[in-house]
Amino acid sequence: MRRGSRWMGAAAGILLLAALPAAFCGWLHPQAPRIPMAQRTQIGVASALNLAGALWVDARPQAEFDGGHVPKAVALPAGAWDTQIDAFLDLWQPGAPIVVYCSSKDCDAAELVAQRLMRELGADTRVYILRGGWEAWLTQ
Amino acid sequence: MMGFLCRLFVSGVFVSAGLLKLRDPEAFAFAVDAYRLTPWVVSAVLALYLPCVEVLAGVALWLRPLRHGALTILLLLSLAFLGVLASALARGLPIRCGCLGPGFIPGGLWGSIGLDLVLLTGILFLLARHLSEFSRPTRVQRSVLFQ
Protein backbone atom coordinates (compact mmCIF):
# COMPACT_ATOMS: atom_id res chain seq x y z
CA MET A 1 0.00 0.00 0.00
CA ARG A 2 2.82 2.39 0.97
CA ARG A 3 4.72 1.40 -2.18
CA GLY A 4 1.62 2.05 -4.27
CA SER A 5 1.18 5.53 -2.88
CA ARG A 6 4.93 6.16 -3.34
CA TRP A 7 4.86 5.50 -7.10
CA MET A 8 1.63 7.46 -7.49
CA GLY A 9 3.42 10.29 -5.73
CA ALA A 10 6.41 9.93 -8.05
CA ALA A 11 4.16 10.03 -11.13
CA ALA A 12 2.28 13.08 -9.82
CA GLY A 13 5.61 14.73 -8.97
CA ILE A 14 6.94 14.24 -12.51
CA LEU A 15 3.70 15.59 -14.01
CA LEU A 16 3.75 18.64 -11.73
CA LEU A 17 7.45 19.27 -12.28
CA ALA A 18 6.93 19.23 -16.06
CA ALA A 19 4.60 22.24 -15.76
CA LEU A 20 7.55 24.41 -14.70
CA PRO A 21 9.77 24.08 -17.81
CA ALA A 22 6.60 24.12 -19.95
CA ALA A 23 5.62 27.50 -18.47
CA PHE A 24 9.14 28.87 -18.96
CA CYS A 25 9.18 27.56 -22.50
CA GLY A 26 5.84 29.25 -23.26
CA TRP A 27 7.17 32.50 -21.79
CA LEU A 28 10.70 32.62 -23.19
CA HIS A 29 10.92 30.33 -26.23
CA PRO A 30 11.10 32.35 -29.46
CA GLN A 31 9.06 29.66 -31.26
CA ALA A 32 6.40 29.26 -28.54
CA PRO A 33 2.82 29.01 -29.84
CA ARG A 34 0.79 32.14 -29.19
CA ILE A 35 -2.14 31.71 -26.77
CA PRO A 36 -4.59 33.09 -27.79
CA MET A 37 -3.55 33.21 -31.40
CA ALA A 38 -2.77 36.74 -32.57
CA GLN A 39 -5.51 38.21 -34.73
CA ARG A 40 -4.64 38.81 -38.41
CA THR A 41 -5.87 41.86 -40.24
CA GLN A 42 -9.44 41.39 -41.42
CA ILE A 43 -10.52 42.66 -44.79
CA GLY A 44 -13.93 43.13 -46.42
CA VAL A 45 -14.90 41.47 -49.70
CA ALA A 46 -14.78 44.72 -51.72
CA SER A 47 -11.32 45.67 -50.42
CA ALA A 48 -10.04 42.15 -50.95
CA LEU A 49 -11.14 42.24 -54.58
CA ASN A 50 -9.06 45.39 -55.03
CA LEU A 51 -5.86 43.76 -53.79
CA ALA A 52 -3.62 43.47 -56.82
CA GLY A 53 -2.36 39.95 -57.52
CA ALA A 54 -3.88 38.52 -54.33
CA LEU A 55 -4.04 34.75 -53.97
CA TRP A 56 -7.22 33.49 -52.32
CA VAL A 57 -6.89 30.60 -49.92
CA ASP A 58 -9.87 28.48 -48.89
CA ALA A 59 -9.34 27.10 -45.37
CA ARG A 60 -12.59 25.11 -45.29
CA PRO A 61 -12.62 21.28 -45.53
CA GLN A 62 -12.11 19.89 -49.05
CA ALA A 63 -15.78 18.80 -49.39
CA GLU A 64 -16.99 22.38 -48.81
CA PHE A 65 -14.39 23.70 -51.27
CA ASP A 66 -15.62 21.24 -53.89
CA GLY A 67 -19.18 22.48 -53.30
CA GLY A 68 -18.21 26.01 -54.31
CA HIS A 69 -15.40 28.49 -53.77
CA VAL A 70 -14.03 31.89 -54.74
CA PRO A 71 -12.79 31.76 -58.37
CA LYS A 72 -9.09 30.80 -58.60
CA ALA A 73 -8.92 30.12 -54.85
CA VAL A 74 -6.64 27.33 -53.71
CA ALA A 75 -7.80 24.82 -51.08
CA LEU A 76 -5.59 24.73 -47.99
CA PRO A 77 -7.47 23.27 -45.01
CA ALA A 78 -5.40 23.20 -41.81
CA GLY A 79 -5.92 19.45 -41.50
CA ALA A 80 -4.49 18.76 -44.97
CA TRP A 81 -1.54 21.16 -44.78
CA ASP A 82 1.13 18.63 -45.73
CA THR A 83 -0.65 17.45 -48.86
CA GLN A 84 -1.95 20.83 -50.10
CA ILE A 85 0.91 23.23 -49.38
CA ASP A 86 2.74 22.36 -52.60
CA ALA A 87 -0.30 23.34 -54.70
CA PHE A 88 -0.41 26.65 -52.85
CA LEU A 89 3.31 27.33 -53.38
CA ASP A 90 2.97 26.60 -57.10
CA LEU A 91 0.44 29.44 -57.43
CA TRP A 92 1.78 31.99 -54.96
CA GLN A 93 4.17 34.69 -56.16
CA PRO A 94 6.51 35.78 -53.34
CA GLY A 95 5.39 39.18 -52.07
CA ALA A 96 1.81 38.80 -53.32
CA PRO A 97 -0.94 39.36 -50.71
CA ILE A 98 -2.93 36.37 -49.50
CA VAL A 99 -6.62 36.42 -48.55
CA VAL A 100 -7.70 33.49 -46.39
CA TYR A 101 -11.32 32.63 -45.73
CA CYS A 102 -13.39 29.94 -44.03
CA SER A 103 -17.15 29.39 -43.92
CA SER A 104 -18.45 32.31 -41.82
CA LYS A 105 -17.50 34.98 -39.31
CA ASP A 106 -17.63 32.40 -36.50
CA CYS A 107 -15.10 29.88 -37.90
CA ASP A 108 -11.45 29.91 -36.81
CA ALA A 109 -9.90 27.81 -39.62
CA ALA A 110 -8.90 30.93 -41.59
CA GLU A 111 -7.12 32.35 -38.54
CA LEU A 112 -5.22 29.10 -38.03
CA VAL A 113 -4.17 28.85 -41.69
CA ALA A 114 -3.22 32.54 -41.81
CA GLN A 115 -1.10 32.15 -38.69
CA ARG A 116 0.71 29.20 -40.20
CA LEU A 117 1.24 30.93 -43.54
CA MET A 118 2.83 33.91 -41.75
CA ARG A 119 5.09 31.55 -39.90
CA GLU A 120 6.16 29.56 -42.96
CA LEU A 121 6.41 32.42 -45.46
CA GLY A 122 7.79 35.11 -43.15
CA ALA A 123 6.20 37.61 -40.77
CA ASP A 124 6.31 40.36 -43.43
CA THR A 125 3.97 38.43 -45.77
CA ARG A 126 0.67 40.25 -46.25
CA VAL A 127 -1.94 37.78 -45.05
CA TYR A 128 -5.54 38.93 -44.62
CA ILE A 129 -8.62 37.22 -43.26
CA LEU A 130 -11.79 37.72 -45.29
CA ARG A 131 -14.33 39.28 -42.91
CA GLY A 132 -17.45 37.08 -42.82
CA GLY A 133 -15.80 34.31 -44.85
CA TRP A 134 -17.58 32.41 -47.61
CA GLU A 135 -21.00 33.63 -46.38
CA ALA A 136 -19.91 37.23 -46.93
CA TRP A 137 -18.66 36.35 -50.42
CA LEU A 138 -22.05 34.82 -51.30
CA THR A 139 -23.97 37.89 -50.13
CA GLN A 140 -21.74 40.47 -51.85
CA MET B 1 21.46 -6.52 -19.34
CA MET B 2 18.17 -6.89 -21.23
CA GLY B 3 16.48 -4.51 -18.79
CA PHE B 4 19.30 -1.98 -19.18
CA LEU B 5 19.11 -2.04 -22.99
CA CYS B 6 15.33 -1.79 -22.95
CA ARG B 7 15.46 1.16 -20.55
CA LEU B 8 18.11 2.81 -22.73
CA PHE B 9 15.89 2.44 -25.80
CA VAL B 10 12.65 3.66 -24.17
CA SER B 11 14.37 6.51 -22.36
CA GLY B 12 16.35 7.49 -25.47
CA VAL B 13 13.28 7.65 -27.70
CA PHE B 14 11.19 9.70 -25.26
CA VAL B 15 13.97 12.12 -24.28
CA SER B 16 15.02 12.74 -27.89
CA ALA B 17 11.38 13.05 -29.05
CA GLY B 18 10.71 15.59 -26.28
CA LEU B 19 13.86 17.62 -27.04
CA LEU B 20 13.14 17.63 -30.78
CA LYS B 21 9.63 18.96 -30.13
CA LEU B 22 10.92 21.59 -27.70
CA ARG B 23 13.14 23.04 -30.44
CA ASP B 24 10.00 24.30 -32.17
CA PRO B 25 6.89 24.09 -29.94
CA GLU B 26 4.80 26.11 -32.39
CA ALA B 27 5.33 23.53 -35.14
CA PHE B 28 4.31 20.80 -32.69
CA ALA B 29 1.21 22.84 -31.71
CA PHE B 30 0.19 22.87 -35.39
CA ALA B 31 0.84 19.11 -35.57
CA VAL B 32 -1.40 18.53 -32.52
CA ASP B 33 -4.06 20.85 -33.92
CA ALA B 34 -4.08 18.95 -37.23
CA TYR B 35 -5.59 15.94 -35.41
CA ARG B 36 -8.71 18.09 -34.93
CA LEU B 37 -9.34 16.71 -31.45
CA THR B 38 -8.63 19.82 -29.40
CA PRO B 39 -9.21 23.57 -29.75
CA TRP B 40 -6.14 25.70 -30.54
CA VAL B 41 -5.55 26.80 -26.94
CA VAL B 42 -5.44 23.18 -25.73
CA SER B 43 -3.16 22.17 -28.65
CA ALA B 44 -0.78 25.02 -27.79
CA VAL B 45 -0.67 24.12 -24.09
CA LEU B 46 -0.17 20.43 -24.91
CA ALA B 47 2.64 21.36 -27.32
CA LEU B 48 4.49 23.01 -24.45
CA TYR B 49 3.64 20.51 -21.72
CA LEU B 50 3.86 17.06 -23.38
CA PRO B 51 7.52 17.32 -24.50
CA CYS B 52 8.52 18.35 -20.96
CA VAL B 53 6.69 15.32 -19.53
CA GLU B 54 8.41 13.06 -22.08
CA VAL B 55 11.89 14.37 -21.22
CA LEU B 56 11.36 14.26 -17.44
CA ALA B 57 9.77 10.79 -17.46
CA GLY B 58 12.55 9.52 -19.78
CA VAL B 59 15.22 10.82 -17.40
CA ALA B 60 13.33 9.57 -14.32
CA LEU B 61 13.58 6.01 -15.70
CA TRP B 62 17.21 6.08 -14.50
CA LEU B 63 16.29 7.11 -10.94
CA ARG B 64 15.22 4.04 -9.02
CA PRO B 65 12.73 5.69 -6.63
CA LEU B 66 10.97 7.40 -9.55
CA ARG B 67 11.12 4.49 -12.02
CA HIS B 68 7.68 3.03 -11.36
CA GLY B 69 6.00 6.43 -11.58
CA ALA B 70 7.89 7.26 -14.79
CA LEU B 71 6.90 3.92 -16.35
CA THR B 72 3.25 4.54 -15.48
CA ILE B 73 3.35 7.96 -17.16
CA LEU B 74 5.11 6.59 -20.25
CA LEU B 75 2.61 3.72 -20.47
CA LEU B 76 -0.34 6.14 -20.34
CA LEU B 77 1.34 8.46 -22.88
CA SER B 78 1.97 5.59 -25.31
CA LEU B 79 -1.62 4.37 -24.99
CA ALA B 80 -2.92 7.91 -25.57
CA PHE B 81 -0.65 8.35 -28.63
CA LEU B 82 -1.86 5.01 -29.98
CA GLY B 83 -5.51 6.06 -29.59
CA VAL B 84 -4.93 9.44 -31.25
CA LEU B 85 -3.01 7.90 -34.18
CA ALA B 86 -5.70 5.25 -34.66
CA SER B 87 -8.43 7.91 -34.67
CA ALA B 88 -6.50 9.91 -37.30
CA LEU B 89 -6.20 6.80 -39.47
CA ALA B 90 -9.88 5.96 -39.01
CA ARG B 91 -10.88 9.50 -40.09
CA GLY B 92 -8.48 9.38 -43.04
CA LEU B 93 -6.68 12.59 -42.02
CA PRO B 94 -3.85 13.37 -44.44
CA ILE B 95 -1.37 14.37 -41.71
CA ARG B 96 2.07 13.51 -40.36
CA CYS B 97 2.39 12.08 -36.88
CA GLY B 98 4.47 14.88 -35.34
CA CYS B 99 5.66 12.33 -32.74
CA LEU B 100 9.34 13.23 -33.19
CA GLY B 101 8.79 16.91 -33.94
CA PRO B 102 10.54 17.66 -37.23
CA GLY B 103 11.98 14.10 -37.22
CA PHE B 104 10.71 11.78 -39.92
CA ILE B 105 9.19 8.36 -39.21
CA PRO B 106 9.05 6.17 -42.34
CA GLY B 107 5.70 4.62 -43.17
CA GLY B 108 3.48 7.59 -42.27
CA LEU B 109 0.89 7.07 -39.54
CA TRP B 110 1.26 3.27 -39.77
CA GLY B 111 5.00 3.61 -39.16
CA SER B 112 4.29 5.79 -36.12
CA ILE B 113 1.82 3.22 -34.78
CA GLY B 114 4.51 0.55 -35.26
CA LEU B 115 7.05 2.60 -33.29
CA ASP B 116 4.46 3.22 -30.57
CA LEU B 117 3.74 -0.51 -30.30
CA VAL B 118 7.46 -1.29 -29.98
CA LEU B 119 7.74 1.34 -27.22
CA LEU B 120 4.64 -0.03 -25.51
CA THR B 121 6.17 -3.53 -25.50
CA GLY B 122 9.37 -2.15 -23.98
CA ILE B 123 7.48 -0.24 -21.30
CA LEU B 124 5.35 -3.28 -20.38
CA PHE B 125 8.52 -5.42 -20.18
CA LEU B 126 10.18 -2.89 -17.86
CA LEU B 127 7.01 -2.56 -15.78
CA ALA B 128 6.73 -6.35 -15.39
CA ARG B 129 10.37 -6.58 -14.30
CA HIS B 130 9.92 -3.73 -11.86
CA LEU B 131 6.77 -5.28 -10.36
CA SER B 132 8.44 -8.68 -9.99
CA GLU B 133 11.30 -6.99 -8.12
CA PHE B 134 8.73 -5.36 -5.86
CA SER B 135 6.91 -8.60 -5.12
CA ARG B 136 10.16 -10.26 -3.97
CA PRO B 137 10.62 -9.97 -0.18
CA THR B 138 13.24 -7.42 0.82
CA ARG B 139 16.32 -8.40 2.82
CA VAL B 140 14.70 -7.11 6.03
CA GLN B 141 11.47 -9.02 5.34
CA ARG B 142 13.47 -12.21 4.62
CA SER B 143 15.39 -11.91 7.85
CA VAL B 144 12.12 -11.50 9.76
CA LEU B 145 10.53 -14.44 7.92
CA PHE B 146 13.41 -16.85 8.56
CA GLN B 147 14.08 -15.93 12.15
Same-domain check for residues A52 and A121: yes
Range of A7's domain? 1-33
Indicate if A85 and A119 belong to the same structural domain.
yes
What are residue A87's phi and psi, to 5 degrees? -65, -40
The pTM of the full predicted model, rounded to 2 decimals, is: 0.70
Q: Which of A18, A26, A112 sits opposite B56 (nearest CB)?
A: A18
Same domain, A72 and A3: no
CB pairs under 8 A between A and B: 106
Same domain as A43, residue A12: no
Best of A5, A14, A29, A107 to disrupt the B interface by mutation (most B CBs within 10 Å)?
A14
* pLDDT tens-place string over residues B31-62: 887 787 888 789 889 999 999 999 999 999 99
pLDDT, averaged across chain A: 85
pLDDT exceeds 80 at position A1: no
Residue B53 with chain A: CB contacts under 8 Å: 14-15, 18
Give A69-82 pLDDT, tens digit per residue: 999 999 998 888 88
Query: In this complex, which of A7, A20, A33 lies closest to B26 when CB atoms are compared?
Result: A33
Both A25 and A77 in one domain: the answer is no
Asked if A26 and A43 sit in the same domain, the reply is: no
Res B9: pLDDT: 95
Q: CB neighbours (10 Å) of residue B106? A: 9
ipTM above 0.90, yes or no: no
CATH number for the domain that contains residue A106: 3.40.250.10
Q: A30-44, A66-80, A98-112, A113-127 — which is least confidently predicted?
A: A30-44
Same domain, A4 and A50: no
DSSP reduced 3-state for A98: strand
Q: Would you call A36 and B40 a contact, using CB atoms and an 8 Å cutoff?
A: yes
Residue A44 sits in the same domain as residue A87 = yes
| pLDDT (0 to 100) of residue B118 | 95
- Comparing A46-50, B55-59, B87-91, the range with the smallest average pLDDT is A46-50
Assess whether A103 and A65 both reside in one domain.
yes
Residues A70 and A115 in one domain: yes
Cα A123 to Cα B38: distance, rounded to the nearest angstrom:
26
Is pLDDT above 60 for B76? yes
CB atoms within 10 A of CB A3: 9
- B61 interfacial to chain A (CB closer than 8 Å): no
A26, A41: one domain: no
- State whether A25 and A42 are in the same domain: no
Domain total of chain A: 2
Q: Do residues B3 and B122 make contact, with C-beta atoms less than 8 angstroms apart?
A: no
Query: Could you tell me if B111 and B29 are in contact, meaning their C-beta atoms sit under 8 angstroms apart?
Result: no
C-alpha to C-alpha distance for B144 and B147, rounded to whole angstroms = 5
